[in-house]
Structures are given as structure tokens and as C-alpha cells.
Amino acid sequence: MGIKKTKKVTLLTGRSIEQGVSLEGEKLTRGYVLSTGICEIDPEDMKELGIYDGDTVIVKTNHGQVLVSGIESTQAPHRGIVFIPMGLYANAVINPETDSTGMPSYKGVEAVIEPAPNERVLAPKALMKKIMPLKK
């Protein structure tokens, strides 16, 4: 115990109904954090990582890293696959490569997830402040 475990996963992003509800005017509120600042993980993978529903995890890819709440997926089984609803949090880590089509690779990004028990998921404005330059 006490040893940090990490897991290699494939990251998918996309719509969820909670994300859809929160996008109408709630994008800078707590509702947006609860609906998009999450990562749906297969329950078996959660056991392997030693985390419970709602524990903070850090998702790292070659393109960035972001803190999100690990949520037990109700759309399982999908061992080795994690899902972050589309939005600010997902877009901090997805692959911007478009293969000259205009479409970034929002699905199928190689990622590593790691429990982050001492960290908290940032609010949308705080996340923007951290990852984007300030407007002058």
C-alpha cells in the first residue's frame, strides 16, 4: 500500500448527456466540472489502481496532462479504455494531429492514468488560467 500505481489506457472523448445539459450556459460553473471534469473508468481497472468512485486521477498523454475525477463507468465493460466527456478537460490532453483533415484525434489517444489523492480538479476558469495565456 501507499505505492503509486499507473495504468496505460486508451483515451476516448465524446458527448455525454450530463455534458449536453451543462453546456447551455453552465460552462463556467460547478455543473461543468461535475459533467466534464471526470474520467469514466472500467470498475475492474479502478480496483487495479486502488481508487474509488470520485477519487482524483491525473491523465497524462504526449500532449498534456489534466486532473479529473475518476468515475466508475456505467457503460462498462471496457477494460483499458477511459472516457472523458468533450470539453476543456478532455481537450487539454487529446492529440491535436489532424492528419490534414481538419479533425483532431479526439478518440483513441494513448494515455496513462495515475491516482492523485492529494490533488483537486480545477474549476473551468482556474484551468483556463493555468493552461492558456492571459488576455491582455
Q: Quick one: which segment of 7-15, 49-57, 113-121 binds another protein (CB under 8 A)?
A: 7-15
Binder of another protein out of 1, 3, 24, 118 (CB under 8 A): 24
Q: Quick one: which segment of 43-51, 52-60, 98-106, 113-121 binds another protein (CB under 8 A)?
A: 98-106
Residue 108 binding another protein, by CB under 8 A: yes
Q: SS in 3 state form for the chain? A: CCCCCCEEEEEEEECCHHHHHHCCCCCCCHHHHHHHCEEEECHHHHHHHCCCCCCEEEEEECCEEEEEEEEECCCCCCCCEEEEECCHHHHCCCECCCCCCCCCECEEEEEEEEECCCCCCCCHHHHHHHHCCCCC
Q: Shortest gap between Cβ of 90 and another protein (angstroms)? A: 9
Question: Is it true that the peptide bond before 77 is cis, omega within 30 degrees of 0?
Answer: yes
Q: What angle do CA 84, 126, 97 make, to 5 degrees?
A: 45
Q: Shortest gap between Cβ of 8 and another protein (angstroms)? A: 13
Q: Shortest gap between Cβ of 52 and another protein (angstroms)? A: 21
Number of residues that bind another protein (CB under 8 A): 54
Residue 113 binding another protein, by CB under 8 A: no
Closest by Cα among 33, 6, 41 to 116 = 6
Binder of another protein out of 5, 28, 48, 62 (CB under 8 A): 28
Residue 87 binding another protein, by CB under 8 A: yes
Q: Site residues (CB under 8 A) for another protein?
A: 10, 12-17, 20-21, 23-29, 63-64, 73-78, 81, 83, 86-88, 91-92, 94-96, 98-108, 124-125, 128, 131-136
